[in-house]
Amino acid sequence: MTFLRSREAVLTGALLVLLALIATRFPGFIAPANLAAVFNDTAPLIILALGQMVVILTRCIDLSVAANLALCGMVAALLNVAFPGLPVVVIVAAVTALGAALGAVNGLLVWKVGIPPIVVTLGTLTIFRGVIFLISDGAWVNAHQMTDPFKALPRSALLGLPVMSWCAIAVIVGTAVLVWRTALGRSFYAVGGNPHAAVYTGIDVGRTQFTAFVLSGALAGLTGYLWVARYAVAYVDIAAGFELDVIAACVIGGIGIAGGIGSVGGAVLGALFLGVIKNALPVVDISPFWQMAISGAAIITAVILNSRTRRAKGRLILRQTEGHA
């Protein structure tokens, strides 16, 4: 627990240094209102990173989150166009359920068919994008076709913050309770940390992984609605490549790709770190040709920092095995 805490401390420190650096070039960035806007802009990344964290904890990976998001977003938009009278809450519930179902497809293929998660989700990634093309006929759903309540929900303010931010906060709290306080949450760690031992303690590894995929899918479905409503447009390519941002956020946040290691705080900080970079680059007046290099360097630096922290107090069993090999 102490080492978990220290990794989050390192990340928090890095985030503060980053904010300080940005403030020297653009002081307005650290104004509370702007920080709230940055948090709001990062909300989709936070939500997806938490779903991805749970999946990675079980030694799996979900590459299909962005495609799932795009498909659910498109379905939300099409539902809104086809039935303008449908309450937005119903649409949100429907696409969250759809996202969960899509996640269940991933989960079943991993659990029952035994295909490696990276292959399964690489396949479903393409299939989901293809399905968007089929259901939308390749056409965009544009702002003027969507109803006003549909577009208004994520940005309507509640106690000073937009609903989209509250969704992220709710997901953070929910995931924290899930992984810390429930048997299922602990079994995510057990399955990823040592699958064999998990089996002996009576945990069904496949079922746990399945549950993780369903959770990740449901969160992607919810984010799909938020994304489409926020940018007021739905098309095949929305959130293209976003799965890589989500995984990067997890990696920066210290979620071990080998499974079993990671915390809600880490995932959230990792997402915020990327979110701050994404939002700061446009205002600090750096040549766009450098922007990608800077993002990449930040990821690698963060990962090195993380692995150092872990190496100091890491898993002894692994180190000994390495020594003998």
Q: Binding of another protein at residue 138 (CB under 8 A)?
A: yes
Contact 26, 284 (CB under 8 A): yes
- Residue 298 makes contact with another protein by CB under 8 A: no
**Smallest Cα–Cα separation from 49: which of 303, 221, 270, 279?**
270
**According to CB under 8 A, which one of 129, 167, 223, 255 is a site residue for another protein?**
129
DSSP string, 170-209: HHHHHHHHHHHHSHHHHHHHHHHH-HHHHHHTT--HHHHH
In the complex, the smallest distance separating the C-beta of residue 182 from another protein, rounded to whole angstroms, is 33
For residue 286, give both structure tokens.
């750096």
Site for another protein in 4-33 (CB under 8 A): 26, 28-29
**Minimal distance in Å, beta carbon 282 to another protein?**
3
The residues near 241 (Cβ < 8 Å, ≥ 6 apart) are 66
Q: Output phi, psi for 26, to 5 deg.
A: -145, 85
Q: Return the residue of 6, 97, 133, 314 that touches another protein, per CB under 8 A.
A: 133
Q: How far is the CB of 138 from another protein (least distance, A)?
A: 4
Count CA within 13 A, CB hemisphere, residue 206: 9
Stretch that binds another protein, among 12-20, 50-58, 199-207, 274-282 (CB under 8 A): 274-282
* Spatial separation of the C-alpha atoms in residues 55 and 155, rounded to whole Å: 29
Per-residue DSSP letter, 299: H
From the list 9, 143, 177, 304, which residue makes contact with another protein (rule: CB under 8 A)? 143
Segment contacting another protein (CB under 8 A): 116-124, 163-171, 205-213, 225-233? 225-233
Among 240, 244, 293, 300, binds another protein (CB under 8 A): 240
Looking at the Cβ atoms of 190 and 226, the one nearer to another protein is: 226
Whole-number Å distance between alpha carbons of 62 and 15: 26
Q: Which is nearer to another protein, 187 or 279 (CB)?
A: 279
Residues forming contacts to another protein in the complex (CB under 8 A) are: 26, 28-29, 34, 37, 41, 113, 129-130, 133, 136, 138-140, 142-144, 155, 227, 230-233, 235-242, 278-279, 281-283, 285, 288-289
